[in-house]
Amino acid sequence: MLIKKTLLSLISLLMLAPLAFSQGSIGGGQQQEMLIKNATIMTASHGTIENGSILIRNGKIAAVGKDLTASPNAKVIDAKGKFVTPGIIDCHSHTMIDGGVNEGTLSVTAMVRIQDVLDPEDIAIYRELAGGTTTINVLHGSANAIGGQNAVVKLKWGRPVDEMRMADAPRGIKFALGENPKRSNGARLPGANQRYPNTRMGVEYTIREAFTQAKDYMHEWDEYNARKAKGEDVVPPAKDLKLEELADILRGKVFVHSHSYRADEILMLIRLADEFGFKVRTFQHVLEGYKVAKEIAAHGAGGSTFSDWWAYKLEAYDAIPYNAAVMTRKGVTVTLNSDSDELARRLNFEAAKTIKYGGLTEEEALRTVTLNAAMQLGVQERIGSIDVGKDADLVIYNGHPFSVYTLVDTTIIEGTIYFDRSADLENRDKTTKEKQALLEAERRKQQPQQQQGAGQRPGRPREKGGDQ
């Protein structure tokens, strides 16, 4: 049975990932030097360069401009007629989470960590690479007023998790407001107790009480450290991983990314954060952000929203497609996110909608899925634009990235190609043959067992050696 299950798993993987067993030659090692030439380069930071080149050395962008040259051993990609952008960054993803998005048993679960359950074999990684996405902010779900800790991950398909995670990215945590944490839309099992909170008032109290406890916890440790510094023999307070994380929010060490919809609850969290002395880094979804954009900007928070998604639940009814543009014009750093393995494959098209709805420029639109996203995650020094010294996370499109007819040709992370459309097409026949060979081997294996079973009398025990 174990052999059968292994074969079936292998067949499934072959069906889903055309490059799963040939990707080693693509994503297996970093190209020391690479030159992309003759491209239209949309930098996301300093305009568009026509007929430009990008020189990559040791995974970093070494030069950007015209008429660049490389060493004789460099890999050269002629991108004539093509466009190059920074790798797309998804600020709200649930890709790679193994074993459930929500730890929904408690209202406050600041102690749980997404990084511990990342699945590097999630097929969505490869599919998102095929859409130009290179970095994702993997968030806990929104079942809790205060959820778990996030992980910023580069989609290095075929590599170990430790190589995918951006260990130097600032820490972050998921909050949630509104219908999800108060469990408005979920069916309760017979006999099960309703988990607190059950109202928007309760959500606010839950967050307030958690930070009140965190302040007391900080005071205990500050007093202990002060007495210890004086040479006193004192017993340390008990460690509490939940309160430790909340205390680090108050210390400014952890970014808060808060699921939100309505203007009233957005203002509520801003007031609460001001009261306790921390900042909300981003309001996620933030579909009524256009109503309170001035207040969001004054607080210093970003907005990570959808383009034209609305009415999928009651608190989303006031969404408008102009939300991203209105917030941008009011001074909010805005991104468009996926919240979906499927939508993450075409975030460039989501960005394009901000040109139609609100009149953002091409560069402003591009920033909503590149540079602005890097800024919201605190990694703008490494990724988000095509600038010298940054990681060579790039996407080569066969046409303008905002055209629905355009496809991604190549996706590069830190100078290594992780998706190549031509290689993908070439390998489809190979993987189809491998799948058929595995299926045929399984059929041949099953035939003797079926014949043996057919010769037995009804009720007669099988002989030893067969499947039990």
The amino acid occupying position 265 is E
Q: Is the peptide bond before 197 cis (omega within 30 degrees of 0)?
A: yes
CA-wise closest residue to 139 among 20, 319, 281: 281
Gap between the Cα atoms of 361 and 158, Å rounded: 36
* Predicted local confidence at residue 452, as pLDDT: 66
Query: From residue 431, how far is each of 61, 140, 183, 277, 440 by CA, in Å?
Result: 34, 35, 44, 56, 14
Q: Residue 310: pLDDT above 80?
A: yes
Q: Residue 317: pLDDT above 50?
A: yes
Comparing 69-83, 86-100, 184-198, 347-361, the range with the smallest average pLDDT is 184-198
Gap between the Cα atoms of 367 and 85, Å rounded: 10
Q: pLDDT tens digit string along 222-258? A: 999 999 999 999 999 999 999 999 999 999 999 999 9
From the CB of residue 415, how many other CB atoms can be counted at a distance below 10 Å? Answer: 23
Q: All domains of the chain, ordered by start, with CATH?
A: 88-383 (3.20.20.140)
Query: From residue 361, how far is each of 86, 351, 356, 417 by CA, in Å?
Result: 17, 11, 10, 29
Q: Is 15 helix (H, G, I), strand (E, B) or coil?
A: helix
Q: Is 240 helix (H, G, I), strand (E, B) or coil?
A: coil
User: Are 56 and 415 within 8 A, CB to CB?
Assistant: yes
DSSP assignment letter at 345:
G
For the segment 322-327, the average pLDDT, to the nearest whole number, is 98
* Predicted local confidence at residue 12, as pLDDT: 47
User: Are 376 and 150 within 8 A, CB to CB?
Assistant: no
Give the predicted TM-score (pTM) of the model: 0.89
Q: Residue 445: pLDDT above 90?
A: no
Token pair recorded at residue 438:
């595995």
Gap between the Cα atoms of 141 and 285, Å rounded: 13
* Predicted local confidence at residue 27, as pLDDT: 60
pLDDT mean across residues, the chain? 91
* Predicted local confidence at residue 389, as pLDDT: 98
94 has which bridge partners?
A: none
User: Are 433 and 13 within 8 A, CB to CB?
Assistant: no
Q: pLDDT tens digit string along 130-185? A: 999 999 999 999 999 999 999 999 999 999 999 999 999 999 999 999 999 998 77
User: Are 86 and 58 within 8 A, CB to CB?
Assistant: no
